[in-house]
Amino acid sequence: MTSEELKENEDRLKALEARLNSSIENIKKLNKIIFSDKSINAEQKLLTIKDVSQMAGLSRSVIEHDIQEGILDVVHRGKRKLIPTKSAKKYIEI
């Protein structure tokens, strides 16, 4: 690689890092909005895996993996796996 190519790659890397940091900040802001919504806390004490996945910005498989690893608490209701709101909040703050 030439020094010019290295410089271009460094510039691209810096731009990607800036975009990633911006995305992380946006996710944090959205999580604050979601968890400050009193209707979710008051009316919905148990969340679905899909709910937590959307709130955390993670895939369903990541959420299910973390449930299996004991990182995220789950309540079984029949065939359904539900996550207590308190556990979801704690999980997303990690």
What per-residue confidence (pLDDT) applies to 42? 43
3-93 CATH fold:
Arc Repressor Mutant, subunit A (1.10.10)
Tokens of 59: 């895939």
Nearest to 88 by CA among 61, 75, 20: 75
Tokens 């959307």 belong to 54
Identify the three-state secondary structure at position 79: coil
Q: What does the alpha-carbon distance between residue 83 and residue 25 come to, in Å, rounded to a whole number?
A: 25
Rounded to an integer, the average pLDDT of 25-43 is 68
Amino acid at 26: N
Domain ranges for the chain, please list them: 3-93
Average pLDDT, the chain: 86
Residue 94 reports pLDDT greater than 70 = no
- DSSP assignments along 25-72, one per residue: HHHHHHHHHHHH-HHHHHH-SEEEHHHHHHHHT--HHHHHHHHHTTSS
